[in-house]
Structure 1
Amino acid sequence: MEGTTTPPVRPAAAPRAPAGTAPRPYAVLAVTSLALALVLINGTSINVALPDLSRDFAAPAGLADWFLLAFLLANTASILVFGRISDLVGRRRIYLVGMTAFMVLSLAATVAPDAGTFIAVRALQGVSAATIVANSSALVADAFPEHRLAYGLSLNLTAASVANTVGPTIGGLLVSVAGWEAVFLVNVPFGLAALLLGLRVLPGPRAATGRRERFDARGALLSAAALATLLYGVNRLSTAGPADPVVWAMLGLGVVLWAVFGLLERRLQDPLVDLALVRDKARACAYGAAFFQSFGRAGVTVLVVLQQQIVAGRSAAEAGLTGMVMALAMVVVTPVSGRLTRVLTARTLTALGGGLSVAGTVGLALTPPTAALPATMAWLVLVGAGIGTFVTPNTTAIMRGVAPERRAVANSVRSMLYNSAAALGTSVVLLLVSASGIAGYDVQDSGPRVSAAFTVALLVCAGADALALAFGIARGGPWRVRDGAAG
């Protein structure tokens, strides 16, 4: 109820399995990992298809950016909304509806008649994907006991991290063999498998026994509008330049909308986001670290595949395979990091992971794009190892100690920050590349201005990784686990 300053009341019920049907942890993990990997692969595989899409739709660079950003923006703007809805009506129901919509929209993307329609379909895909992203870690946290939570999350996040990075590789192979349409058609059989497994494995909600909470519709609209205007302002900066008053109007409006959203949430009994989640210093630092680490990772993922095609003149398949080593490093390191949480705190592991990412990204920036591929791949291994070391302890620090009825919201805040940073990172690095004067992403240009633009963009990503490192250390606490506390 508005006008009160009492903290949000927590309902007695949570969207978990019905009485007597405990979730099967590894079955739930398998389903959520498959669905999350499918969504994230689709989100990043289109990076490699960007030159082909630009050519087929006759889209200049500024318009083609929205082939990537429409999905990210809509996904990010929807995550908080679906996280809250999932806490209220049940994670399983939201997951199944979202997966069905994602498959249908994948088919629609292949028959889009023009760039505008394609962008609209991508935006709707982003909304459907939000139902899966918002629920993934929360479903795992529901299914795994506290002492196994870090390990369960590490496996789920391994799938997510690998999907994010291997997407360009898969996209490159599909585009080279069957055209960009294959990037979307492949979603249908795997999406159907994820849907059928979800019907069989995911637990339904248990009957509510406490006060029924209200959905904060005004907060949902404000948060979505704030994210949309901010990200639109950033993208418009790349096409219209800093002299355009609309750019600063959008950025300013986004900040104002966020301020209004924060004030509204403090006054509501049933807010969209429980602000108590970010009042804890350690969790707030973990959220900040997640934001900047995602900024750097998204930027590197986009830059590497574009640089290899535009500057080095390599094929889409070669560009995608270049990033594969980063994914392999993450596959190896992420589960190891999950096990290390037994002896090393989140502070230690995020600091180590952040340091590795900084070193690897700086190395990429200083390596000529025309250098032999092993030199580039060596730095990508370092970046992948840093990401793998960082993500599990940081996510566990966010989810640990959150009440079951707030887990989807806690994960949604993390996912919203993660995706906001990914969209922002993608926008910023594309802005820097576009500012070099490049005619489009479907042309080859190894001139000094273009090469310098990629170098500067990679150094910006390294700066974001350094900020993630700083937040990881700022959370405070010990460097080693003491008395079973993971920090």
Structure 2
Amino acid sequence: MSGKPHNPYAVLAVTSLALALVLINGTSITVALPALSRDLGAPAGLADWFLLAFMLANTASILVFGRISDLVGRRRIYLLGASAFMVLSVLATVTPDAGTFIAVRALQGVAAATIVANSSALVADAFPEHRLAHGLSLNLTAASVANTVGPTIGGLLVSAFGWQAVFLVNVPFGIAAVLLGWRVLPRPRPRTGRRETFDAKGALLSALALAGLLYGVNRLSTAGPADPLVWVPLAAGGLLLVVFGLLERRLEHPLVDLALVQDKARACAYGAAFFQSFGRAGVTVLVVLQQQIVVGRSAAEAGLTGMVMALAMVIATPLSGRLAGLLTARTLTALGGLLSVVGSVGLAVSPPTLPLAVTMSWLVLVGAGIGLFATPNTAAIMHGVPAERRTVANAVRSMLYNSAAALGTSVVLLVVSASGLGGYDVVDAGPAVQTAFTVALSVCAAADLVAAMFGIARGGPWRVRRVVAERLPEEAAA
């Protein structure tokens, strides 16, 4: 934190701008998959990596940069990553082939990890404890909306200017985020006391474990379960994850403080975040692909279809912050999860050829559920964490969130690819393809149901007790 006063809303605005930029870029490429597949000559299995290379690299890097930021300063790492993200956005537009494009996307994911890992922690530093839930609700509103409007923005840009515009649009907004961040973000105080060491072994183990698990899941969609290269990375990733956990328990200064998950309420909040992200990512990908592949809509039309989901989230997220004075995180996360279940089931059972208003009505429920869920769940994770561990606590949340998004994207694309679909640049309304979308959306609904169950399992009252709300509103929200 800075030694001089700073405006928490200025910090919120800067971090939200950079975070929104990363998330919009991460999801807008979904609607650009058909154009990218055509221009770079990539079949469906290879084109999946236009999405997954970013997600995998981002997820594997978040814990590392979360810890580095706590050691050397959040501001410095944040600004370096934002600058690198802009440069890589330009490089993505001039890549000559699919392999080079995937490599640039992976590097973008690493750069984006510096922003994702630090965003909520910087907001938590800037806002006083009794206003933390409010500050996080605004930050998460920006993040949630960015995640959902990405396909809409991407569709408009692709239709008007080509897929390169999805990346070039990052440059002016990125420059603004870096310049404003240099001016607004608080400079760290000089560290006192014994200097902590960086857990290099843990960083390597966690990155390799996550990479192995996510690669193995994606390999299923291209090679099938008979290929040994599916199970080798899955087994290796699982083994490395166990070794990582055992190592972290023995170290004085671990990459991840396992005490963060010893509290039942926080552990349940982490679990809920994982499964809610799985369902959200799956629905976001499936809706825009279904509208293009099955219904035959343009990229712009498919992107606009998902816009109602974002609008519902815009309304529901701040509403959730206000309801936190009356209802506990247990109630709000359970309610949000169940709303998303209903919306996802509705999308699964409704034929996409029905009037567009039907699809949009189900997307409203999904978006409202996400909006109600996000703020109380994140506040429950961050509440009570010491300032020197906030980036790590948020990095764990972001790692789980991004792992689930990558896993959810891989699983639903696996289901769609299993239908025999040759590529994402075709129109195919055959029964096998339509059934695949129904199954994939049902998987998303199941993930939302598990998220709701985690929200309930955290325990505690359903309503905020008045005396607690008056004295310790931040504890009541948790």
TM range (shorter): over 0.9
Residues matched between the structures, number: 470
Which residue identity is paired with 2:124? A
One-letter amino acid of the structure 2 residue matched with residue 284 of structure 1:
A
1:414 is the counterpart of 2:418: no
Aligned CA-pair RMSD: 0.6
TM-score by length of 2: 0.98
Alpha-carbon distance between aligned partners in 2 of 1:251 and 1:22, rounded to the nearest angstrom? 48
Aligned equivalent of 2:360, options 377, 382, 401 = 377
Query: Shift of the alpha carbon at 1:23?
Result: 2.7
Residue from 21, 44, 55 that aligns with 2:27: 44
Which one of the candidate residues 134, 140, 146 is aligned to 1:151? 134
SS across alignment from 1:227: helix
The answer as to 2:213 corresponding to 1:238 is no
State the distance in 2 between where 1:257 and 1:341 align: 39
2:469 counterpart of 1:486:
no
Kindly state the Cα deviation for residue 210 of structure 1 after the two structures are TM-superposed. 1.5
Helix, strand or coil for the counterpart of 1:209?
coil
Counterpart of 1:47 in 2: which secondary structure?
A: coil
Mapped pair 1:127 → 2:110: yes
2:331: which partner in 1?
A: 348
The one-letter amino acid of 1:133's match is V
Instruction: Give how far 1:217 is off.
Output: 0.5
- The residue aligned with 2:185 is 202
**Which 5+ residue runs of structure 1 have no aligned equivalent?**
1-15
State whether residues 260 and 266 of structure 2, in contact with CA within 8 Å, keep that contact through their aligned partners in structure 1: yes
Corresponding residue of 2:472: none
The letter for the 2-side match of 1:425 is G
Report matched runs for 1:196-275 at 5 Å.
196-275=179-258
CA distance in 2, matches of 1:263, 1:334: 38
Shift of 1:262: 0.3
The correspondence of residues 56-455 of structure 1 with structure 2, limited to 5 A, is 56-455=39-438
Q: Partners of 1:338 and 1:416 in 2: how far apart?
A: 24
1-structure distance, mates of 2:477, 2:434? 44
For residue 486 of structure 1, report the CA deviation from its aligned partner.
2.5
Cα distance in 1 for partners of 2:258, 2:443 equals: 31
1:352-385 Cα deviation digits (max 9, x unpaired)? 1001000000000011111111110000000000
**In 2, Cα distance between equivalents of 1:463 and 1:210:** 48
Task: Report the CA distance between 1:249 and its aligned residue.
Answer: 1.1
8 A contact 2:133–2:477 mirrored in 1: no
- 1:246 deviates by 1.4
Letter of the 2:477 partner, please give it: A
Question: Displacement of 1:480 after TM fit?
Answer: 1.1
Cα-to-partner distance string for 1:27-51 (whole Å, 9 max, x where unaligned): 0000000000000000000000000
What is the distance in 1 between the residues matched to 2:220 and 2:54? 19
Q: Tell me what 1:469 maps to.
A: 452
Counterpart Cα distance in 2 of 1:278 and 1:131: 23
Moved more, 239-248 or 31-40: 239-248
The Cα offsets for residues 116-170 of structure 1, whole Å up to 9 and x where unpaired, read as 0000000000000000000010001001111111111000000000000000000
CA deviations 1:265-300 (Å, max 9, x no partner) are: 001001000000000000000000000000000000
- In structure 2, stretches of 5+ residues that fail to align are 470-475
Partner of 2:17: 34
For 1:486, the aligned partner's letter is: A
- Tell me the secondary structure at the aligned position of residue 242 of structure 1: coil
Alpha carbons 2:379, 2:477 under 8 Å: kept? no
Identity %: 81
